[in-house]
Structure 1
């Protein structure tokens, strides 16, 4: 529970209630210079480009939309982000950043400020149970949950997207979209009035009530809100010990530190399950006293809100030229703090596919792989969130066995604790692999230390959306001049967990597309070239085995 997932873009998340502390009045407006008139200096856009045609439009300037915009711009794809809000929200709906997300941000050179400013939590609660999940044993350089405010994440990603050349239009609300075989037509309300725009592709990153998803006719089945949780970020003069959780007859609560010196206090108040109006500070204090037995000397609230447990998953992540990602594709109760993480990984997966198709280096069939890869991850997200929610909601005396058993297993069965950490961290994701592939195909690539270029690692070479061919440094691979090639010695490869692997082709999102044990350089080179061709031209690919873990 609650590091609430991201809610960004043109519409709100149905799980979120109205904040009691309102957004500040905008001090200025950002619009597009494509619209005439007096607002020209207020646009966040790059210098003029030779190609003035927008190729991809993204609805929503939250973390997912901004991440995707940068991925596309780094591949030379002209991208515009349309955001309904005048300013970025000062409130951080999402707070937890997990190991796999830190890995992909590190690859793209975006993690330094987050790692420097965040709070590293080697353990974190599961379903508000006394026994917690141990992240410190994860097979990653980032074996912890990083508490870092979403506002900081958005600031980093917005700066990166703009530096890459993306255009950001604030106060431009997508109100509908329609598509033909060749383009998508957007209807947009901007500060200077209504206009239409044609693009090749549209991506909805506009939240749980996504206009893009609805316009594309993508179903969003799931469950309605059945209970409400409270959330406040406040200063505490007498904070509890780190990892504080309580669960009892009055409800549940947890307290976690937030960078900036204040605390996130969130939980369920069984006495207030029919919220009327915004959450006020006096009500919040009473709720905390009732559920925790203390107000911890709270003062100076930064943000107060409520959110529900609605759970929905898009039936498809693509319909023709329209895609959905992040909260537009999946909403859930924020148990485990994984929502933002899944959304950023959606963006990374979609970005390289769109880039290759638009640039003519891949067949359009490559875009089908986005749903094939990410929808099962969304299904797993629903399962994980709903399982934790069931344990959290076990307040009745007859339900206590569920909490007691789950708590005992997490505390006593090391393998179970570790598996939960793998799943919540995103490290357990495994994509479908061609039949006959080595077991590492479809899994994330570790950060192997390289001998060429010397002094660098594999993550350093994934600083942009490109394929990387890693081979053992006693092999010489030929015939792959268009693929970025790096080398490592056998010990480094074995130490990374790839025992006996002699070469591997890594996708732009850091997952393994192909690997081999052969020590024949000619054979390895031919296999790698074939694997690259089949990845980019999936209609000619080998049969696919089943499912993602």
Structure 2
């Protein structure tokens, strides 16, 4: 029986980032994937602004930029004609990074390999049992032989059809599909006219003359004539979810929206999806944690799926590592569910609302609602609220704080530039907590946690909003304690989030 600290099932963006976070904290990890190799299909195509910030916390964003195909300066809500603006969120980089999911997986796998971990492709989980001391996983390898893995914890990052979820018989409640879609990598024939050639705004990629009740978009990739074709609607229900996608089927969808001159020369990859919306009731089942699509699925609206999973992994990684290493305060691991379940529930809510606008056929009531919502989106407060929800900037976790109340408490730490020239994000590259302070008393108080928290003295904290004398920042970039001078409750906050003092 092979032994490890954590088994991660699934090597998509969620599983790979989680493995990287665990390895960064010195945890032994085994990553399994039943596929024989990493897939190359584009699937998701962008990093929302907050997800880009998350990668920047670990020094991965520059690499993502080098592999990106676009910078997307605005978002959308249900294709309504008023774009979502990222202004007002104190963002250093107020844009989405247009990058295929396969390239995100590529750069994350490189980071995992850099920690000495190899993804075990062709290894399928076929059995799972857990007890008070750990988890036993039965794995079938490429040769057909079955082996046993023993770990303290197991993380299910194996997608919407999660094997782990099924083996545990975890319910997956939600709504049945009403709309059916296809996402495909296609090459268009030369001479195809009326198709987009640049990607700077996602909303502008949707076809304006798609049939009522259907949404179609062409997203330019990085080769001439190479596109991702996205189409969904209630009227394209296949005989089965696994029915092969045909070139003729894609061409009908393409020409209905872009004209008969648009032709497909090659279909490289194609897969089906639906607008089913589901979420598990608990993200933790004993010693098994569920993350990404294994925990929640929803309509592909606003490009939120991959981002939701990556941020699940960032929230879970440092907490699970602390638990494995025996440093976690009581209840820390349970905050993963408490914090991330409501975030995904909001995503399910906003994607279902977008689906009402996107798939409704001729309906005066929906037309009136669409007109009203368009006017509301033009209001700065409403626009900022929805932009915050979809981009991830607006996430704010509840904090039981013993210090002063502050507008950043529970929110992401803005990537401000410090007096010494460093960006705040650079302080978190090691995956440790950070105490950013202008007061020597705070530095002295944090010294017993020096093995887990870096105390960084600066002349001042350059915030654009409410001032603060000290900010305690978790490894995932969220502020968990703030204070004006003199110090109040810092030791309590350090203990609550990082464990007992050394």
TM-score, scaled to structure 2: 0.89
8 Å contact 1:185–1:198 — kept in the other structure?
Answer: yes
> Matches of 2:344 and 2:463 in 1, distance apart?
32
8 Å contact 1:135–1:145 — kept in the other structure?
Answer: no
> Matches of 2:102 and 2:374 in 1, distance apart?
33
Q: Secondary structure at the match of 1:152?
A: helix
Gaps of 5+ in 1: 1-33, 35-51, 539-549
Structure 1 residue 225 displacement after superposition:
1.5
Residue 150 of structure 2 is matched in structure 1 by: 198
Residue 530 of structure 1 is matched in structure 2 by: 492
Match of 1:335 among 301, 318, 321: 301
Residue 49 of structure 1 is matched in structure 2 by: none
Aligned-residue CA RMSD (Å): 2.2
Q: Secondary structure at the match of 1:125?
A: coil
Residue 91 of structure 1 is matched in structure 2 by: 41
> Matches of 2:469 and 2:223 in 1, distance apart?
47
Match of 1:407 among 374, 380, 394: 374
> Matches of 2:81 and 2:299 in 1, distance apart?
20
8 Å contact 2:137–2:149 — kept in the other structure?
Answer: yes
Residue 76 of structure 2 is matched in structure 1 by: 125
> Matches of 2:186 and 2:81 in 1, distance apart?
23
Q: Secondary structure at the match of 2:394?
A: coil
Structure 1 residue 199 displacement after superposition:
0.8
Q: Secondary structure at the match of 1:372?
A: helix
Q: 1:292 to 1:404 in 2, by over 3 A?
A: farther
> Matches of 1:469 and 1:120 in 2, distance apart?
33
> Matches of 2:424 and 2:160 in 1, distance apart?
36
Structure 1 residue 281 displacement after superposition:
1.6
Deviates more, 1:366-375 or 1:223-232: 223-232
Where in structure 2 are the equivalents of 1:41-56 lying within 5 Å? 53-56=3-6
Match of 1:394 among 345, 360, 376: 360
8 Å contact 2:213–2:358 — kept in the other structure?
Answer: no
The alignment status of 1:221 with 2:173, answered yes or no, reads: yes
Residue 27 of structure 1 is matched in structure 2 by: none
Residue 119 of structure 2 is matched in structure 1 by: 168
Structure 1 residue 295 displacement after superposition:
4.9
> Matches of 1:225 and 1:307 in 2, distance apart?
9
8 Å contact 2:41–2:185 — kept in the other structure?
Answer: no
Number of aligned pairs?
Answer: 477
Q: 1:449 to 1:125 in 2, by over 3 A?
A: closer
Where in structure 2 are the equivalents of 1:46-85 lying within 5 Å? 53-85=3-35
Gaps of 5+ in 2: 199-203
Structure 1 residue 475 displacement after superposition:
6.4
Residue 468 of structure 1 is matched in structure 2 by: 434
Q: 1:395 to 1:139 in 2, by over 3 A?
A: farther
8 Å contact 1:448–1:488 — kept in the other structure?
Answer: no
Deviates more, 1:456-465 or 1:261-270: 261-270
Q: Secondary structure at the match of 2:4?
A: coil
The alignment status of 1:504 with 2:454, answered yes or no, reads: no
Match of 1:255 among 218, 221, 224: 218
Structure 1 residue 345 displacement after superposition:
0.8
> Matches of 2:421 and 2:168 in 1, distance apart?
48
Q: 1:53 to 1:131 in 2, by over 3 A?
A: same
Structure 1 residue 145 displacement after superposition:
1.8
Q: Secondary structure at the match of 2:367?
A: helix
> Matches of 2:250 and 2:470 in 1, distance apart?
57
Q: 1:136 to 1:534 in 2, by over 3 A?
A: closer
The alignment status of 1:446 with 2:414, answered yes or no, reads: yes
Residue 201 of structure 2 is matched in structure 1 by: none
Q: Secondary structure at the match of 1:531?
A: helix
Structure 1 residue 528 displacement after superposition:
2.0
Deviates more, 1:440-449 or 1:212-221: 212-221
8 Å contact 1:357–1:364 — kept in the other structure?
Answer: no
Residue 134 of structure 2 is matched in structure 1 by: 183
Structure 1 residue 190 displacement after superposition:
0.9
> Matches of 1:390 and 1:487 in 2, distance apart?
51
8 Å contact 2:123–2:141 — kept in the other structure?
Answer: yes
Q: Secondary structure at the match of 1:105?
A: helix
> Matches of 1:467 and 1:240 in 2, distance apart?
44
> Matches of 2:374 and 2:258 in 1, distance apart?
20
Deviates more, 1:477-486 or 1:79-88: 477-486
Deviates more, 1:321-330 or 1:428-437: 428-437
8 Å contact 1:450–1:486 — kept in the other structure?
Answer: no
| CA displacement, residues 235-270 of structure 1 (integer Å, 9 cap, x when unaligned) | 344323651322543633222222344222212355
> Matches of 1:60 and 1:476 in 2, distance apart?
41
Match of 2:457 among 487, 495, 499: 487
Where in structure 2 are the equivalents of 1:255-334 lying within 5 Å? 255-261=218-224, 262-268=226-232, 271-275=235-239, 277-334=243-300
TM-score, scaled to structure 1: 0.82
